[in-house]
Amino acid sequence: MQVTIAALEALRTGFRTDFQKGLDKAEPVSDVFTTEVSSTTKVETYGFLGDFPIFRRWIGEKRIRSLDEKAYALVNEDFEVTRGIHKHKIQDDNLGLYGPLVNGWGDSAGQLKDRLSFEALQNGHVRPCYDGQNYFDTEHPVGDDTVANMSGNDAVEPWYLLDNSQALKPILGQNRQSPVFTMVTDPQNDHVFKTGEFLMGAEARRAAGYTFWQLAHRCTGTLNEANYVAACEAMEALTDDEGEPLGLKPTHIVVGISNKSAARNLFKKMNLTGGESNIYFEDVEIIEARRLP
């Protein structure tokens, strides 16, 4: 194959198609608990998160509440993958492995949303949210008191209860630049002249953070009936600063590899060992996260 601009453009088109096929086959499972927003700057600030939305009874004068400026900021991160393809590979038409390689880049790019959303969930006990406390914490300020949205005795890896029925989901997915494939096709490029390599790669910019901490509960206690009920009750008992119930109810449970069997036993069996009905059968939907332990 002659290394002409036309040949290089055709090669780039083919690789871009391979990348897009890999991107298209990705099926993020985190969409159900992630609210996706577009970003136009490196850092986005969300000042509306200080007030959980509740429609209150109108008695007397309206209670005017300004949106609290909690200044929760989420910084976009940069992601890339870059490789060089030597002109001799192109001349010798020795390109068989490059298509699958680029396809794999697309697949990895398509899973980036899942990767960041599950990382945010996994690290929620050490990453702050809008109120200055860690997303999963024992001292979230509510009125004159503090409230916890985490429990357990570290007996097992964490599992998470989520209320995904609200307009905003627990995790905030911020997209600054969707994954895009590029390739150098100029034979006079400085890098090509020095090394003989035509560079190709892909880039993306995004981040994952948090909305309302009230929508999630982290537990490290054994995944059994007692701990599940306690975690549910903790979420369902949450109120706003004025004592108004938030009306939350867990809709999903997120489990990693180690808690998968326990979750299936608790929520997927219609009947218990003795034959009696399982009252927790499909009480919540299970999200099995291969990225979590």
The pLDDT assigned to 67 comes to 46
Give Cα separations from 144 to 14, 227, 242 (angstroms).
62, 27, 9
Q: Are the CB atoms for 110 and 22 separated by under 8 Å?
A: yes
Whether the per-residue pLDDT at 210 is higher than 50: the answer is yes
| Higher-confidence position of 98 and 204 | 204
The closest alpha carbon to 170, from 117, 128, 219, belongs to 117
* DSSP letter for each residue of 172-201: EEEEEEEEEEEE---TT-HHHHHHSEEEEE
Burial code of 250-280, b = ≥16 C-beta within 10 A, e = fewer?
A: bbbbbbbeebbebbeebbeeeeeeeeeebeb
Q: Which residues contact 11 (CB under 8 A, 6 or more apart)?
A: 90, 95, 183, 185
The pLDDT assigned to 47 comes to 78
Q: Per DSSP, which regions of the chain are E strands?
A: 34-38, 43-46, 72-75, 77-86, 140-142, 145-147, 150-151, 159-162, 171-183, 197-210, 216-219, 252-255, 285-288
The pLDDT assigned to 116 comes to 98
pLDDT, tens digit (0-9, with 9 covering 90-100), for 165-207: 999 999 999 999 999 999 999 999 999 999 999 999 999 999 9
Q: What angle do CA 190, 195, 200 make, to 5 degrees?
A: 75
The structural domains of the chain, with segments of one domain joined by +, span: 5-54+68-288
Other CB atoms within a 10 A radius of the CB of residue 22 amount to 24
Roughly how many angstroms between the first and final C-alpha of the chain, as a whole number? 48
Other CB atoms within a 10 A radius of the CB of residue 112 amount to 21
The pLDDT assigned to 191 comes to 95
* Lowest mean pLDDT across 15-19, 40-44, 63-67, 289-293: 63-67
- The burial class, CB within 10 Å (0-12 / 13-18 / 19+), for 79 is middle
pLDDT, tens digit (0-9, with 9 covering 90-100), for 104-137: 999 999 999 999 999 999 999 999 999 999 999 9
Average pLDDT over residues 237-259: 94
The pLDDT assigned to 127 comes to 98
Taking phi over 0 as left and psi of -120 to 50 as alpha, with beta for the rest, 147 belongs to beta
pLDDT, tens digit (0-9, with 9 covering 90-100), for 50-79: 666 665 655 566 555 544 545 789 999 999
